[in-house]
Amino acid sequence: MATGFGAAANWSDTELINAARAGSADAFDRLVEAHYRGVYNTAYRMLSTPSAASDATQSVFLRVYEALSSFRGDASFSTWLYRITMNVCLDELRKRKNEPLSLTEEDDDGEVLGERDLPDLSDEPALTAEQRELQRLVHEAIGRLSEDFRTVIVLYDIRGLSYQEISGVLEIPLGTVKSRLNRARLALRDEIAPHAELFGG
Amino acid sequence: MSCEQCLDRLTELLEGELPPETEREVRAHLDECAQCAEALAELGALVKVLRGMPEVEPPAELRERLHAQSPAEATASVTFWRRSRSVVAAVAAAAAAMLMIWTGVTYLRPETGGAVMESSPRMVERYAQPEATVAEEAPDVTEALEADDAPAEAVTPESGETAASVEAIEPTRSSPRSSSPPRNARSGRGSVAPAPPAPAPVETPAPAPAVAELDDAAVGDEGATSDVEDTVRGAARGGPAGPAGSPEARATGMTAEATRGTGGAPSRTLTLPPPVYLDAGAGTAMKMGEGTPFTVAVTPPHEPVTGRVVPATIRIETEADVARARVTVAGSDDLELIGLGADGVVFEGPLEAGQETVLSVRMMARSAGVQSLTMRVRSTDPVVDTQLDVGMGDFAEPVPAAECPVTFNFVGTPIRVAVGEIVRQSGMNVIVDPGCGNVTVTLRTDDPLPAAAALRLVVEAAGCTVTEHDGRAVVEALNGER
């Protein structure tokens, strides 16, 4: 689990942003390099499929690029990037509402099940098939939650942001973050209820 | 307390955020209410699963897409260095000066505008500029020429004029275009074995100076920053080539753009010791050369198989604070490093004494056999340049995916999940037709099975069928609904 999007090994985000705003493409490149994995992972949990996550990641960095000049530095770059990521994801979810497209229907394209669809677990201790199935169930269940619930679960429980950070990203009061998280977890539990026996074990 | 009130507080209870008296009330309710207690247990288990959700590796093509849309593809000048007198400039200058020292050679190449067209239309528009000839810096001429099929002209440091004219085209921050230096160009050096002491760090027509010049500005003197900045811009990645190596050539480069305060900034000569070559035992901590503050430990890939991207980990520790260190790596002949620029930089920044810095290097071996990683650490203060060859293991051809042994224990597992598990273990390429629906399978292995056989078993147990198409296994419902 990661708290931030990740840090550039070479330069601080602030240095890179200043340079990127001054027109340095190289600095922008480094920003992308440092953060795209985090953006992709966040989008993947929000949008459920790798292809949607890839598209969203691309949109995010386009928006970042266009909005660099408006980045004030009063929020941390990470917060700002999460906000853009969430906005892109929520836009996509709203779009989906109009053209009814569920996760399972998307699978109906006969998408290739390849390595890219599956988490890279090379560093994970061996997980049992059940644990993986559980993760898959939870991943899919997140995709059935409402936008608000999905957002807090992804940010708090998966990305590991603090209440404070989430409050900054979503621009909602801290108390709202807390209560929404509790309701989101309960809703997710209900989604998974049919498979509750997996949790018992 | 009602059930509703209790449920409202479960997250706070789990996170340990409740005031003591409220916690007592909640716990009192939980003692009496089996339903709420169950909810708490399930929520706790759920949170555990959520926190254990793995980071997913983005598809490789995403990185390419992002890179293709990057403005770097559409611009040439590295205006990164332009912020005169700022910390960025000073720091960048120091780093780039180091880069320049070790580069020793630049090469020029006429740029065609066409390369930009792959970028996103919006970006191209923003960066569209008149055609311009730009120069690129590459670590090694031979390498640059090999790696690039565009016509390229090697320029020795003496050809300062060419570089100067290039510099002159770049008067403002809006920039001529260029493509970035060849990506993934590998070092032509390729000396793998515990090398004999001190081969030239980079093979160049003009020998890289053992004694390098660093402007005072490069180590932080503000007065000369602008000079260095201009020179340095050339040395920076993708920027117009400031001639490197020879002080005369550099002077020429500087005159091209009228700079203030060029009146012969005092130079200080620093002597860089020749690189030290050592053969480190894989995984063991190793001092990086005599008199250096660096200790490294390298963990080679767990599974050294060819044709796959595998990670190795480098841990660096320093005894003394280092203001700025640069760590670069190069693979042996058939070891391609993934996700690194041509310069192979894996780390650049300050190192704190006693703090371990962990770096991950992803690599892919193109052929079977022993592969190694050459790792180099440089810093200006203290002045260190040292090098280490580390064995990455004996790479073997991977077992074909279809023969890869898999094990599983499926209990009422949906076919998609079951097939996904086999794919994950073996790397087989499988398509599941949606017509298979939500059928489940209950099956387990006693002994590992070859993936193709396992797939057949699982698929048939679920009442579906598997056929091969263009090297992919296709799983379909028996009655072929689609």
Domain boundary residue, one of B29, B51, B73: B51
How many CB contacts within 8 angstroms connect chain A with chain B?
A: 219
B284 lies in the same domain as B387: yes
Which of B46, B58, B61 has its CB closest to that of A199?
B46
pLDDT, position B142: 34
From B196's Cα to the closest Cα of chain A, the distance in A is 31
pLDDT in tens, B13-33: 998 889 999 999 999 999 999
User: Hey, which residues does B153 pair with through a beta bridge?
Assistant: B108
CB burial of A24-57 (b: ≥16 within 10 Å; e: otherwise) equals bbbbbbbbbbbbbbbbbbbbbbbbbbbbbbbbbb
Say if B232 falls within a structural domain. Answer: yes
Residue B90, classed as helix, strand or coil, is helix
Please confirm whether the linkage preceding B382 is cis (ω < 30° from 0): yes
B19 and B71 belong to one structural domain? no
User: Cβ–Cβ of B69/A58 closer than 8 Å?
Assistant: yes
CATH number at residue B316: 2.60.40.10
Q: Rounded to 10 degrees, what is the CA torsion of B130, B135, B137, B143?
A: 110
B321 CB-contact burial (10 Å; exposed 0-12 / middle 13-18 / buried 19+):
middle
Of B9, B36, B66, B129, which to mutate for an interface test with A (greatest number of A Cβ within 10 Å)?
A: B66
Q: What is the ipTM of this complex?
A: 0.84
pLDDT at position B449 over 70: yes
B276 near A87, Cβ under 8 Å? no
CA distance A17 to chain B (A): 10
Q: Are residues B408 and B391 in the same domain?
A: no
Q: Taking CB atoms and an 8 Å cutoff, what residues of chain B touch A35?
A: none
Closest CA to B108 of B177, B163, B180, B168: B163
Are A61 and B424 inside 8 Å of each other by CB?
A: no
Q: Per the CB < 8 Å rule, is A19 touching B54?
A: no
- Chain B positions touching A27 (Cβ under 8 A) are 80
State the pLDDT confidence band at A11, using cuts at 50, 70 and 90: low
Is residue B233 within 8 A of residue B239, CB to CB? The reply is yes
Q: What is the pLDDT of residues B81-115, one digit of tens each?
A: 222 333 444 444 444 444 433 332 222 333 333 33
Does residue B263 sit within a domain? yes
Report how far residue A9's alpha carbon sits from residue B246's, in angstroms, rounded to the nearest whole number. Answer: 30
Domain edge (last residue) among B351, B378, B395: B395
B58 domain-assigned: no
Structure tokens at B158: 């003496």
Residues of A in contact with B73 (CB under 8 A): 25
B224, B215 Cβ separation under 8 angstroms: yes
Q: Residue B373 is part of which domain span?
A: 279-395
Same domain, B95 and B221: yes
Taking alpha carbons only, the member of B387, B433, B447, B442 closest to residue B409 is B442
Q: Do A115 and B88 count as a contact with CB atoms less than 8 A apart? A: no
pLDDT confidence tier of residue A35, bands split at 50, 70 and 90: very high
* Residues 245-264 (B) with a CB less than 8 A from some CB of A: none
Q: Do B115 and B195 have their domain in common? A: yes
What pLDDT digit, counting tens, does each position of B167-210 carry? 333 333 333 333 333 333 333 333 333 333 443 443 334 433 33
Task: Answer with the residue of higher pLDDT: A91 or A104.
Answer: A91
* pLDDT reading at B144 higher than 60: no
pLDDT digits (tens, 9 = 90+) for A130-169: 778 888 889 999 999 999 999 999 999 999 999 999 999 9
How many Å apart are CA B68 and CA B34, to the nearest integer? 57
Single out the residue in B395, B422, B451 at which a domain terminates. B395
Domain annotation covers residue B29: yes
The answer to whether residue B349 is domain-embedded is yes
For domain A13-200, give the CATH number: 1.10.1740.10
Scanning the structure block, which residue is given the tokens 């028996």?
B478
Query: Which among B46, B58, B120 has CB closest to A37?
Result: B58
Domain boundaries, chain A: 13-200
B385 shares a domain with B315: yes
In a domain, B235, yes or no: yes
* Token couple for B390: 């580390």
Number of domains in chain B: 4
Nearest to B146 by CA among B99, B186, B201: B186
Is 0.95 surpassed by the pTM of this model? Answer: no
Contact check, Cβ <8 Å, A119/B57: yes
Of residues B140 and B282, more confidence is placed in B282
Count of CB atoms situated within 10 Å of the CB of B338: 15
Give domain status of residue B363, yes or no: yes
Asked if residue B406 belongs to a domain, the reply is yes
Q: What pLDDT, on the 0 to 100 scale, is given for residue B117?
A: 31
- Best residue in A182, A195, A198 to probe B by mutation, most B CBs within 10 Å? A182
Please give the Cα distance from B51 to B40 (Å, whole number): 16
pLDDT at B395 > cutoff 50: yes
Q: Are residues B155 and B211 in the same domain?
A: yes
Residue A132: what pLDDT? Answer: 80
Query: Which 411-440 residues of chain B touch chain A by CB within 8 A?
Result: 411, 413, 416-417, 419-421, 423-424, 427, 429-434
pLDDT for A108 beyond 90: no
B82: chain A residues, CB-CB within 8 Å: 22-24
Cα separation, B310 vs B300, whole angstroms: 9
- How many CB atoms within 10 Å of residue B307? 12
Residue of B56, B86, B349 with shortest CB distance to A10: B349
